[in-house]
Amino acid sequence: MAAMTELNADFGRETDNDAEVVLSKTEMQRKRTLKDIKFSDHMQSIEKIHTGTSLDIRITINGELYGYDIPIPTGERIYPDKTVLDPSNDTIKVKIFKETLFSLKSAMMR
Closest listed residue to residue 93, CA positions, set 103, 83, 101, 102: 83
CATH number for the domain harbouring residue 53 = 2.60.40.790
Paired with 20 in beta bridges are 95
Within a domain: 60: yes
Within a domain: 93: yes
Per-residue tens of pLDDT for the chain, all 110 residues? 568 999 999 999 999 999 999 999 999 999 999 999 999 999 999 999 999 999 999 999 999 999 999 999 999 999 999 999 999 999 999 999 999 999 987 766 65
Q: 3-class secondary structure for 5-41?
A: EECEEEEEEECCCEEEEEEECCHHHHHCCCCCCCHHH
Domain extent for 93 = 4-102
Within a domain: 66: yes
Q: What is the pTM of this model?
A: 0.93
Within a domain: 110: no
What CA–CA distance (Å, rounded) separates 51 from 60? Answer: 19
Within a domain: 52: yes
Within a domain: 107: no
Within a domain: 96: yes
Total domains in the chain come to 1
